[in-house]
């Protein structure tokens, strides 16, 4: 045996005896943390996302959402009181969606204890100058942070109303407007009902703000009775009281052909009850929203079909395209928008490297609620007190996408996509000092998306 080969073997044997030598964990892809019985997995990716807009898009792409966001899309023909201008023929690229995550599994007398912490740098933070102005510094955000003991989960992760396996395969970082994309703090317990099914029930954070129109501005009532974000509304009390959790149940059945998920949510809305400087208290108003959803996917000869239908009064918060149209407190009554959203997507796998998707989604909001203020419709009331033209409530959102992905290596892929979407608002009579007819506004998105992605392993 040569001295060189002997040295190599001695070095290898020495390294294997060191305390920091990696040992395979109890779960594939994990390794034991030295000196403990805990297995650790580190995961994540670096990613470049790009967009090229040929249609309307918000000019403030650095501080606000750069990915597709139909709910606040500027109109094709800007109006005099439209707050944001639109940009066309504009290129944008970002690496802010790059992600880092940790997962640990520790055995215990009551079962495995799992911890997950995951974050990225895609935090939409208006006015924080998190843009190329500051050498592309973007704000870190927590996506997931939870613990799990057996079937009991506590912390922040995807809402129990979420069904990830029914989401379309998009290049766009944001999903279609009908998708549930809430990640929120919760207490959740999952029952194993059979070898192919389970039932999850949860209490989740009731972030049920009453928003002004579709603007996303939460109205904070000031101590003098004024409304911090809508002075014209006279401080009617659009601030929420978060004292009852959302209650959610999700039954999922899976088999070789695919899966089906049936879900329900009860959403308590409460606003008012605010003590003012003059010693009076604003009226406390409540309403109970609820929603249902059925979704799933089917495996079809090597391809797949995903689909989902969601609807109910006040359920807008659980659909990405209408989360700002859920409830409105007019000072006399808590009003709920009724929403209905659906999507369908088909994936064709050309071979082991190439796949293509065709996707369609729609969200419709119903305006059939009479309010306690002069019998105005909900669109009338919200539009009258909701600010500029681009803050008017949406009636219909539609989204159609076509894309192709190429799997370069096991851990690397790229994708290109054409994304077409429309936003149509309600037409109504604006009530103020004079009555003004507000027409239906339309915004049209014509966008090309692309992504280059490389995972850790």
pLDDT per position as a tens digit, 147-168: 999 999 999 999 999 999 999 9
> Helices (DSSP H) in 86-202: which residue ranges?
none
Token pair belonging to 5: 């080969």
Secondary structure of residue 150 in the 3-state scheme: coil
Phi/psi for 209 (5° steps) reads -70, 150
pLDDT tens readout for residues 277-301: 777 777 777 889 999 999 999 999 9
376 inside domain = yes
DSSP-assigned beta bridge partners for residue 149: 113, 152
Q: CATH number for the domain including 233?
A: 2.40.160.10
Phi/psi for 58 (5° steps) reads -65, 140
> Under a CB-based contact definition with an 8 Å cutoff, are residues 168 and 360 in contact?
no
8 inside domain = no
6 inside domain = no
403 inside domain = yes
* Separation between Cα atoms, residue 53 and residue 448, nearest integer Å: 7
pLDDT tens readout for residues 192-201: 999 999 999 9
Confidence (pLDDT) at 381: 53
Phi/psi for 380 (5° steps) reads -60, -50
Closest by Cα among 216, 208, 201, 307 to 263: 201
pLDDT tens readout for residues 92-132: 898 989 999 999 999 999 889 999 999 998 876 555 444 44
Res. 77: pLDDT tops 90: no
Closest by Cα among 188, 176, 163, 347 to 260: 163
5 inside domain = no
Confidence (pLDDT) at 161: 98
15 inside domain = no
Work out the percent of the chain whose per-residue pLDDT is above 70: 71
Number of structural domains (the chain) is: 1
262 inside domain = yes
How far is residue 114 from each of residues 182, 197, 202, measured CA to CA in Å? 21, 21, 18
Residues ≥6 apart with Cβ < 8 Å to 448: 51, 52, 54, 416, 417, 418, 419
Closest by Cα among 437, 402, 397 to 416: 402
DSSP-assigned beta bridge partners for residue 310: 293, 341
Res. 16: pLDDT tops 50: no
Which domain range does residue 302 map to? 25-455
- The pTM assigned to this predicted structure is 0.85
Number of H helices, E strands in the chain: 2, 23
302 inside domain = yes
Res. 244: pLDDT tops 90: no
* Separation between Cα atoms, residue 124 and residue 181, nearest integer Å: 15
User: H-helix or E-strand containing 46?
Assistant: strand 39-53
How far is residue 86 from each of residues 59, 191, 295, measured CA to CA in Å? 5, 49, 35
């Amino acid at each position: 045996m040569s001295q060189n080969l002997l040295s190599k073997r001695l070095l290898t044997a020495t390294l294997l005896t060191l305390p920091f030598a990696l040992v395979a964990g109890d779960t594939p892809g994990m390794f034991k943390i030295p000196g403990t019985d805990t297995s650790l997995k580190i995961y994540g990716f670096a990613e470049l996302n790009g967009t090229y807009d040929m249609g309307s898009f918000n000019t403030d792409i650095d501080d606000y959402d750069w990915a597709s966001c139909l709910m606040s899309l500027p109109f094709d023909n800007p109006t005099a009181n439209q707050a944001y201008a639109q940009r066309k023929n504009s290129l944008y690229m970002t690496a802010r969606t790059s992600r880092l995550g940790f997962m640990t599994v520790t055995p215990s007398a009551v079962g495995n204890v799992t911890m997950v912490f995951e974050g990225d740098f895609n935090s939409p933070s208006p006015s924080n100058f998190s843009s190329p102005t500051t050498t592309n510094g973007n704000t870190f955000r927590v996506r997931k942070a939870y613990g799990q003991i057996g079937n009991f989960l506590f912390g922040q992760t995807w809402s129990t109303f979420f069904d990830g396996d029914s989401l379309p395969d998009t290049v766009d970082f944001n999903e279609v407007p009908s998708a549930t994309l809430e990640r929120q703090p919760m207490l959740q317990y999952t029952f194993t009902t059979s070898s192919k099914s389970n039932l999850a029930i949860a209490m989740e954070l009731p972030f049920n703000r009453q928003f002004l129109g579709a603007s996303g501005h939460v109205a904070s009532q000031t101590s003098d009775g004024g409304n911090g974000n809508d002075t014209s509304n006279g401080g009617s009390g659009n601030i929420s009281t978060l004292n009852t959790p959302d209650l959610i149940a999700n039954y999922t059945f899976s088999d070789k052909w695919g899966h089906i998920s049936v879900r329900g949510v009860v959403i308590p809305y409460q606003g008012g009850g605010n003590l003012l400087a003059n010693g009076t208290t604003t009226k406390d108003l409540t309403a109970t929203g609820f929603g249902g959803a059925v979704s799933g996917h089917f495996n079809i000869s090597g391809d797949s079909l995903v689909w989902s239908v969601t609807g109910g009064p006040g359920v807008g918060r659980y659909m990405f395209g209408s989360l700002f149209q859920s409830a409105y407190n007019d000072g006399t009554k808590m009003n709920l928008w009724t929403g209905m959203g659906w999507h369908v997507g088909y994936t064709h796998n050309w071979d082991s490297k190439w796949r293509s998707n065709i996707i369609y989604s729609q969200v419709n909001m119903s305006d059939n609620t009479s309010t306690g203020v002069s019998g105005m419709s909900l669109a009338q009331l919200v539009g009258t007190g909701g600010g500029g033209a681009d803050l008017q409530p949406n009636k219909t959102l539609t989204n159609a996408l076509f894309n192709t992905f190429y799997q370069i290596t096991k851990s690397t892929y790229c994708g290109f996509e054409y994304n077409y979407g429309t936003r149509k608002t309600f037409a109504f009579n604006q009530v103020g000092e004079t009555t003004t007819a507000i027409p239906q506004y339309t915004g049209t998105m014509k966008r090309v998306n692309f992504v280059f992605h490389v995972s850790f392993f």
